[in-house]
A and B are shown apart, each in its own frame.
Chain A
Amino acid sequence: MAVMTYLEAIRETLRQELRRDDRIIVYGEDVGVRGGVFRVTEGLQAEFGEQRVIDSPLAEAAIIGTAIGAAVNGLRPVPEIQFSDFIFPAINQIVQEAARIRYRSNGTFGVPMVIRAPFGGGVHGALYHSQSVEAFFAHVPGLKVVIPSTPYDAKGLLAAAIQDEDPVLYFEHKAAYRSLKGDVPDERYLIPIGKADLKRPGKHVSIITYGLMVSYALKAAETLDKEGISVEILDLRSIRPLDVEAILDTAKKTGKVLMVHEDNLTGGIGGEVSALIAEHALFYLDAPIVRLAGPDVPAMPYSPPLEHAFMVTPEKITEAARKLAKF
């Protein structure tokens, strides 16, 4: 057991996995000599060589397209897209190819591949280094999408994603890389994809969220606890597949649901979660479902006041949960 940052947990998991299975390869822009622009893959090329930790040309469709071919041909590729904002040139390969290959071949071919991509804002990244893109992919059957919220989960979800026989998108919040620290066991362990985690039991309001927002929600819950408002927090961990049972359980328990994500409001995961609750647990609700999300503007601006205005913060979560508790 060691205390690690979120970033170190990802790096050490990659190292452990590369040691465990020589079919695993890591590649992307700058992941080799430089160890990635965030240093996530630092030291891996030195240990595993250029054949397994590959500096690729700057071309996202080629990175993902070749990873698909390598996966079909027996490797377990873990390609990195340097920023999730730059995943779009590869969307044809991810959605039309990786997601559909098992289905279109009637189960003959599969694509065991993990696409890692840093996402999220609040880091002065502006429009094209701040985006949350998970909802685009959560819409697609054939893909799995996981977003860890702690160093512990970062390890267990990454190992599970690499072990998975299907394509998994693994989104890492950039603001979490160095700000989140926690205990991470040395041994390998898997966190099942599709299982949510009840981070904090509560009685009055349920906050359903994922990724960096989990830690923000925990801060909000502490504040509200002092006011006598008991907040339950469900960390989705996977946004496809969703843990429907856990979502309905918490909705039924508190009767008040606040859905939180940094991704844009419209078409975000909050809409899907809300629909599930409306379909299956409507008469347990004591208040309308509330969605707190990134605003419906095209992307996050650079200038600090504008960036701050976009971001979902612990304060905004506190305010929304307080209001809902009093409904």
Chain B
Amino acid sequence: MAGSDALYGLGLDTTKIETMYYYMVLSRALDERMWILNRQGKSAFVISCQGQEGAQVGVASALDPTVDWVAPYYRDLGVVLYFGMTPREIMLGQMAKAEDPSSGGRQMPAHYGHKKRHVLTGSSPVATQVAHAAGMALAFKIRSEAAVVMTSLGEGSTNQGEFHEALNFAAVHRLPLIVVVENNGFAISVPQSKEMVVADVAAKASGYGMPGIVVRGSDPLGVHQATSEARNRALKGEGPTLIEIKTYRYTPHSSDDDDRSYKTREQLQAEKDDDAIVLFRQWMLDQKMWDDEREKALNQRVRNEVDDATDYAEAAPYPDPATLWEHVYHS
């Protein structure tokens, strides 16, 4: 596995490695369950993390959820799980139930937000969160707090003005910000070649005088290392970093899309041959830190958690219609 040599020197012990693997597997399993619920007519909308788990867990594992904040985008299931959102909390949002901590069932699924877990509420207009993350980082800088903000978005969203405005603002003020672009090659149906001329989104960083790093999502340890270095730079007052992660989207854009019209099945198979989860597991086996028995136990644990989350969310009540009027303003 590419990047495996980087393990030594990253300061990662076996427990951390296993934790990263667990969150990748959990993200995938939860996501797969969402699609089943959708096809059963129990959940109106799904937007997936599948294919991007290595990128997401690689980033999140290099952050400190006790002090750092994330302003994720809608595919970042792996990030928010790593930051402490539980499978039950995820499924409550997926089923639009009152107890959903992100929005009380007000937003579409995957619009995560969780104050206690340092996850900023997100919206559907893309790239707005990059400016929010820069503002949060500004507050950390003004208060001289040792914390960073990580925000993420897709490569298509890097065409939005707010992405560029926020990068420039963060660079001018040398803010403790990490901007992660999860480049899965498509903005819904539009391939990167029609989204931008540059081959690497990371090249856009040079216009703002900040480092632009390219890593592969199938190499979670490489992602971890790049994020860790960006975090150190941010904490030293050296400003923001743009990290582009080359990754894949194994599903259509959402449950309302059909990717067969713009992605060949051959391409999809080639992408799946570079699946971070499969490669990471093989690497753990090669390193003799994993075996079939542990794999089986992990899968059972994840299966139980997904079942529990599904059952819990299905049984949970919907919001009372009378709450429609709540929280328009502070009360």
Query: A residues engaging B (CB < 8 A)?
Result: 25, 51-52, 54, 56-57, 59, 61-62, 64-75, 77, 89, 92-93, 96-97, 100-110, 141-142, 144, 164-166
Contacts and interface: CB of A to CB of B under 8 A. Distances in A.
Given A106-B327, A108-B121, 18 more contacts: A66-B169, A69-B133, A69-B137, A70-B135, A71-B135, A72-B132, A72-B135, A72-B136, A75-B142, A100-B123, A101-B121, A104-B103, A104-B106, A104-B111, A104-B123, A105-B121, A106-B100, A109-B120
A320 B139 CA distance: 51
Indicate the size class of the contact surface on chain B: 35 or more
B329 A66 contact: no
Interface in B73-128: 100-104, 106-107, 111, 113-115, 120-121, 123, 125, 128
**Most chain A CB within a 10 A radius of its CB, from B115, B123, B162, B329:** B329
A168 to B, nearest CB: 11
Interface-centre pick from B69, B101, B107, B169 (highest chain A CB count, 10 A): B169
B131 interface: yes
Contacts of A61: 131, 161-162, 165
B161 to A, nearest CB: 6
Contacts of A65: 128, 130-132, 134-135, 162, 165-166
B265 interface: no
Given A72-B132, A103-B328, A108 B169 contact: no
A106 B103 CA distance: 5
B138 A104 contact: no
B27 interface: no
B131 A69 contact: yes
B135 A102 contact: no
A62 B111 contact: no
Contacts of B128: 65, 92-93, 96-97
A225 B121 CA distance: 56
A102 B111 CA distance: 14
B138 A66 contact: yes
A142 B100 CA distance: 21
Contacts of B121: 101, 104-105, 108-109
A96 B125 contact: yes
B328 A142 contact: yes
A66 B134 contact: yes
A97 B169 contact: no
B328 A92 contact: no
B296 interface: no
Nearest to B102: A105
Given A57-B169, A73-B69, A102-B328, A62 B103 contact: no
B107 A104 contact: yes
B172 interface: yes
Nearest to A77: B135
Contacts of A110: 330
Interface string B177-203: 000000000000000000000000000
A62 B113 contact: no
Given A62-B168, A110-B330, A73 B140 contact: yes
B320 interface: no
11 contacts: A57-B165, A61-B161, A64-B131, A65-B132, A66-B138, A69-B132, A97-B125, A102-B328, A104-B123, A165-B330, A166-B330
Contacts of B132: 65-66, 68-69, 72, 97
B256 interface: no
B326 interface: yes
B126 to A, nearest CB: 10
Contacts of A92: 125, 128, 162
A104 B166 CA distance: 23
Given A62-B165, A66-B131, A66-B169, A106 B125 contact: no
A74 B139 CA distance: 7
A119 B140 CA distance: 33
A114 B21 CA distance: 45
A25 B149 CA distance: 20
Q: Which 5 A-B pairs have the closest CB atoms?
A: A69-B135, A65-B131, A106-B104, A66-B135, A62-B165
Contacts of B69: 73
B169 A62 contact: yes
B142 to A, nearest CB: 5
Interface in B146-178: 149, 161-162, 165-166, 168-169, 172-173
A153 to B, nearest CB: 21
A73 B326 contact: no
A108 B119 CA distance: 11
Interface in B40-85: 69, 71
